[in-house]
Amino acid sequence: MTIYDLETGSSSTLPGFTQQNIDSALFSQSGRRLAFYASGDRFPSDLYVYDFETESITRLTESLNPEIDREDLVESEVVSFHSFDGLKIPCLLWRPHVVSEFNEAPALVWVHGGPGGRMAKGYKGRIQYLINHGYVVLGLNYRGSSGFGKEFFAADHQKHGREPLWDCVAAKEFLTRLGYVDASRIGIIGASFGGYMVLAALAFHPEEFAAGVNICGISNLVSLAHALPKYWDVKRFYDKLGDPEKDENLLRAISPFFHADKIRKPLLMLQGATDPRCPREQSDEMVAAIRRGGGRVEYLVYEDEAHGFRKRKNAIHAYEAILNFLDSHLKPRATERKSISFSATNRTTLSLG
């Protein structure tokens, strides 16, 4: 955040916040003080006050769970790679402290929701939980993500299931070149529209990822498009994915539900029973279709949840289940383990908060 002095024309930035997001800033009536919230990869959102006269900052809250050692948390690195067509794809990369070229780790491509969302820096307890258990995580801003210009945002219009998905495959290839990731143990995970991307990746590129985790993701774009809630931005949906009256064949072609028989890699699906955005029926039908085709899928339904996990007990249960699933498919068994070993001192279990 940059602060401008309208009288002198000078500008300044708040000291000590180069790695954090600043929002909700408010000046005092006197103009002497500035209150604001700031958060970072290792810092949940806290309230601060800056005094312009003394040039001092006071933190008023401490949101980090006291059971968590901040030194165990990982600061993400802003990275990018060139996708299949040369387009530059921005990402965030989290690398566990214990990982090195002599200690290769499994990895996850983390796909954000939307369509049109964004993976930005900031405290993400769920991602830190997986990182702290030895997973490299690449937060992918595939084409169509917001915050990178109009051209980048529009680059996915009616191209889902193809170009944005190919960015996910290119992200996996980027991970294999890092030198500390085991190329045979890369999974893909996402929620909401990111969950759709997980299903699409396993259906349309069945050999690319070793496992997938879909959290309340869409599987049938045809039925969803015909039943969009009135409060949704229908035009944005049509621009991004297609008009069900004009583009039903397109929506059918890119819907994983109609290609469920192609899914062969292990899949975990999690769903809120009362989800109004990604209805339970989408997941129920997808699970049934995968099983009819002989695929492997584990399915968890949370009766008292809607879209995502709002209740702490459910979030803890869900991410423990996700970790167990990933460990069973992306980490070698004790008898097979060669290059990876986590000691009791460097494998800290974090609570979600």
Q: Which residues are known catalytic residues?
A: 192, 275, 307
Torsion of CA 31, 35, 40, 43, to 10 degrees: 140
Verify cis geometry, omega within 30 degrees of 0, for the bond prior to 115.
Answer: yes
- Residue in this structure with the two tokens 């584990």, named with its chain if needed: 298
Phi, psi angle pair for 27, to nearest 5°: -80, 145
Q: How far apart are CA 40 and CA 299, in angstroms?
A: 33
Question: For residue 260, what is the DSSP state?
Answer: G
Assigned token pair, 15: 């000291």
Assigned token pair, 122: 């900031």
What does each C-alpha distance from 154 to 146, 149, 168, 224 come to in angstroms?
9, 9, 17, 21
Q: How many CB atoms lie within 10 A of CB 97?
A: 14
What does each C-alpha distance from 118 to 47, 71, 74, 145, 346 come to in angstroms?
24, 26, 20, 5, 31
Q: How far apart are CA 184 and CA 329, in angstroms?
A: 11
Contacts of residue 150, Cβ cutoff 8 Å, sequence gap at least 6: none
- For every residue of 46-105, DSSP letters joined together read EEEEEETTTTEEEE----S-TTS-GGGS---EEEEEE-TTS-EEEEEEE--TT-BTTB-E
Torsion of CA 348, 42, 146, 130, to 10 degrees: 0
H helices of the chain, in order, are 125-131, 150-154, 163-176, 193-204, 221-226, 234-240, 248-253, 280-292, 312-330
Q: How many CB atoms lie within 10 A of CB 310?
A: 12
